[in-house]
Amino acid sequence: MIGSGAGGATAAKELQGAFDVTVLEAGRAFKPQPLSLAAMEKVKGTGLLFDERLIELIFPSMQIRKTPDMVLVNGLGTGGTTPVCTGNAVRMDQDLRAMGIDLDAEFEAIFQQIPISTGHQRAWRKHTRRLFQIALELGLNPAPMPKMGAYERCKSCGRCIFGCPEGVKWDSRQFLNAAVEKGAALITGCRAEAVEIQDGRATGAWARQGLARRFYPADLVVLAAGGFATPAILDESGIACEPRLFVDPVLTVAAHCPGSYQCREVAMPFVIQMPGHILSPYFDFLSFFFNDEWHYPAKDILGIMIKLAETPAGRVSRRGVEKMLTEADQQQLAAARKTAAELLCRLGAKEEDLFLGTVNAGHPGGSLPLTEREAATLHHARLPPNLYVADATLLPRPLGNPPILTIIAVAMRVSKLCREKLG
């Protein structure tokens, strides 16, 4: 197993027992970001935070890449991107269902294994309640966001993307721990580079741990290193992916709103579903720390995130990631900005005082998309019979929505098929 995020931890749990699973994980054990917001604001004041990639110095579990158009974010370490997620739990398998992949049984299992609720709603702040009301009045059908975890205990601290200090949020380390308790081996700090393929079969994976490069033999290799790393590993192994990378770009429209304290509230408390994008209240910490336009104190900024299901055009190879916003994406963002601005202005902000965040994105996938051809096997013909992918790389189209539950469901099905075929 390569990777321990949404897909990898699920597959490790589902496969341990039928196989002796070894999880190769590039990062270390996840630790929440330790600095308080006040301390981070002080560091910001020194002017030292001039490039988003610097976040890795204080928070190694967050990895940042940059393209000319956007900042790309993913988690690195046990649990992958799930410990830095905002807990959103939405079933988004309509594209898979349309191509004949029925994941009802997997979602039923997920809903039994992961607590999901909107229990955070009781702790919403005044401005969030007001925004929700305004969205209702505008006929935008806002809905409280379902979240993974024990959200009735949510302390409304706002640190969701830094790792929940209260243990409220569910993340895939719970599945990883279950796999380890059943006997799976976990090797951290171990970066897989390539899958060795001989006579049409995968024989194991090459990985680097510190200066040492080692071969890990395996009867079955499951790649779940996430939407950026899995295609790069495949490329290094001589298997090309497709230039269909999506990332669900995020743009936050923000207002100066004294005393709103959105920075100390659960992230993305409610969601407005629009064609091709969602809107959700969001304090964009990346923009706050690294974008000069965000010069007000954190407590006085109120933001609304636009998350786009963009054109799936982008490429990952062993040389890196290419990703741009197309003209159509820019147009869609511009239209969504108007709705976000209207919400903020009805709350009292002045249109001319609104400011924008840096475009950033953290839902990479789609480089080896499933089609009707793979509906029964979830296995592409270009892969050796004992090499599977079990992460967002398989998703056929951008969701513009939280993907974790859907990735878990796909990883459960991949694991079932591996057990039946190879276990």
- Give the HSE-up count for residue 192: Cα atoms under 13 Å, Cβ half-sphere: 33
Report the nearest approach of ligand FAD to the CB of residue 59 (Å).
11
DSSP for 153-198?
A: G----S-GGG--TTS-B--THHHHHHHHHTT-EEE-S-EEEEEEEE
Other Cβ atoms less than 10 A from the Cβ of 28: the count is 13
The binder of 24, among ligand FAD, ligand SF4, none, by C-beta within 5 to 8 A per type, is ligand FAD
Report the nearest approach of ligand SF4 to the CB of residue 154 (Å).
3
The binder of 154, among ligand FAD, ligand SF4, none, by C-beta within 5 to 8 A per type, is ligand SF4
State which residue has the least CB distance to ligand FAD: 5
Nearer to ligand SF4 by Cβ, of 169 and 379: the residue is 169
Amino acid at 109: A
The binder of 101, among ligand FAD, ligand SF4, none, by C-beta within 5 to 8 A per type, is none
The binder of 26, among ligand FAD, ligand SF4, none, by C-beta within 5 to 8 A per type, is ligand FAD
DSSP state at residue 145: P
Nearer to ligand SF4 by Cβ, of 27 and 119: the residue is 119
**Alpha carbon distance 281, 258 (integer Å):** 16
The binder of 7, among ligand SF4, ligand FAD, none, by C-beta within 5 to 8 A per type, is ligand FAD
**Alpha carbon distance 315, 390 (integer Å):** 19
The binder of 4, among ligand SF4, ligand FAD, none, by C-beta within 5 to 8 A per type, is ligand FAD
Mode of pairing for the β-strands spanning 22-24 and 185-187: parallel
Mode of pairing for the β-strands spanning 360-361 and 270-274: unpaired
Report the nearest approach of ligand FAD to the CB of residue 158 (Å).
13
At residue 198, φ and ψ (nearest 5 deg) are: -130, 130
Nearer to ligand SF4 by Cβ, of 170 and 294: the residue is 170
The binder of 298, among ligand FAD, ligand SF4, none, by C-beta within 5 to 8 A per type, is none
Three-state DSSP state, 319: coil
Report the nearest approach of ligand SF4 to the CB of residue 299 (Å).
15
The binder of 74, among ligand FAD, ligand SF4, none, by C-beta within 5 to 8 A per type, is ligand FAD
The binder of 159, among ligand FAD, ligand SF4, none, by C-beta within 5 to 8 A per type, is ligand SF4
Q: Which residue in this structure is represented by tokens 């349309």? A: 98
DSSP for 24-65?
A: E-SS-S-----S-HHHHHHHHHTT---SGGGHHHH-TTEEEE
Nearer to ligand FAD by Cβ, of 11 and 349: the residue is 11
The binder of 158, among ligand SF4, ligand FAD, none, by C-beta within 5 to 8 A per type, is ligand SF4
- Residues of this chain that interact with ligand SF4 (CB under 6 A) are 87, 154-160, 164, 166, 168-169, 266
Report the nearest approach of ligand FAD to the CB of residue 291 (Å).
16
Nearer to ligand FAD by Cβ, of 113 and 256: the residue is 113
CA angle in degrees (0–180, nearest 5) for 231-88-158: 110
Nearer to ligand SF4 by Cβ, of 159 and 413: the residue is 159
Report the nearest approach of ligand FAD to the CB of residue 203 (Å).
17
Torsion of CA 269, 270, 271, 272, to 10 degrees: -140
Nearer to ligand SF4 by Cβ, of 155 and 182: the residue is 155
- CA dihedral sign of residues 397, 245, 247, 220: positive
Nearer to ligand FAD by Cβ, of 71 and 135: the residue is 71
Nearer to ligand SF4 by Cβ, of 224 and 268: the residue is 268
**Alpha carbon distance 333, 345 (integer Å):** 18
Report the nearest approach of ligand FAD to the CB of residue 345 (Å).
27
Return the closest-CA partner of residue 101 out of 412, 421, 364, 403: 412
- Residues of this chain that interact with ligand FAD (CB under 6 A) are 2-8, 24-27, 73-77, 80-82, 84-88, 161, 191-192, 224-227, 229, 233, 362-363, 391-392, 402-404, 407
Nearer to ligand FAD by Cβ, of 114 and 349: the residue is 114
Cβ atoms of 8 and 80 closer than 8 Å: yes
Report the nearest approach of ligand FAD to the CB of residue 377 (Å).
19
Q: Which residues have CB under 8 Å from 28's CB, separation 6+?
A: 60, 61, 77, 78, 188, 189
